Structure 1
Amino acid sequence: MNDMLLHGAVMLAGVFLASFSQVMLKKSAGKAHASMVREYVNPLVIGAYGIFLLTTLTSIYALQVIPLYVGAVLESSNYLFVTFFGWYYFGERLNRYKLVGLGIIMLGILIFFGG
């Protein structure tokens, strides 16, 4: 069980990092670039795709031990992370429908792991 917990934590950390790399891509997309090449080849974009590569490796590592359906449930936490980052970094608004949706996702994750 200890192995499962470790690999699950690695998977969750990878999901968190993937969410953060999406923030990096959005930050880059919101900037003016000198050329089309600079739009796609700049430190934020390269860093974001480097993190995506790292998260792919963490998923491969985690899925060696955890069942695929557990990995899929952990991946759903991406919605929570991305919403938080959007609110925190970009001032995106959260209305009650979004909060209810996030609550349902959290409840689903809790029910899945609690039962």
Structure 2
Amino acid sequence: MTGYVFLLVASVAVASVSQLLLKVSADRPHRGFWREYGNPWTLGAYGLLFCSTLLTVAAFRGLAFKNAPVIESLGYLFVLILSRVFFREKITRRKLAGNLLIVAGVLIFYI
């Protein structure tokens, strides 16, 4: 079971990195539709999102569906931390409170 939990956590981490790549692409100017959606950042992000989906499917082979929301909520924390590390975004009290409310809500629902 721990291997399946690891697969789901890895899936969430990969999806979080995918979101960061999409932000990098969105912050850059593009000269047309095809260059906007066909650039390496966007294609890489979509590729990682596909890999994340495959990891999630593999994880659900050994996990009950009721366990997934708890682990999936880690994605919000991963994005918050990765945005701080790579984009130097400030972690404000409001962002932190929002993330903690999301995780607390999922945990309460799970219990």
Q: TM-score, normalised to structure 2's length?
A: 0.85
Report what 1:95 is aligned to: 92
Q: How many residues align?
A: 111
Q: Does 2:43 match 1:46? A: yes
- Matched residue type, 1:81: F
- Matched residue type, 2:43: I
Shift of 1:7: 0.5
Q: Secondary structure at the match of 2:13?
A: helix
Unaligned runs of 5+ in 1: none
Report what 2:55 is aligned to: 58
Cα pair 2:11 2:52 within 8 Å, conserved: yes
Q: Which stretches of structure 1, 4 residues or longer, exceed 4 Å deviation after superposition?
A: 103-113
Q: Secondary structure at the match of 2:29?
A: coil
Distance (Å, rounded) in 1 between the aligned partners of 2:68 and 2:38: 32
Q: Secondary structure at the match of 1:11?
A: helix
- Matched residue type, 1:93: K
Report what 1:80 is aligned to: 77
Shift of 1:33: 1.6
Q: Does 2:25 match 1:28? A: yes
Shift of 1:43: 0.7
Query: What percent of counterpart residues are identical?
Result: 38
Distance (Å, rounded) in 2 between the aligned partners of 1:8 and 1:111: 20
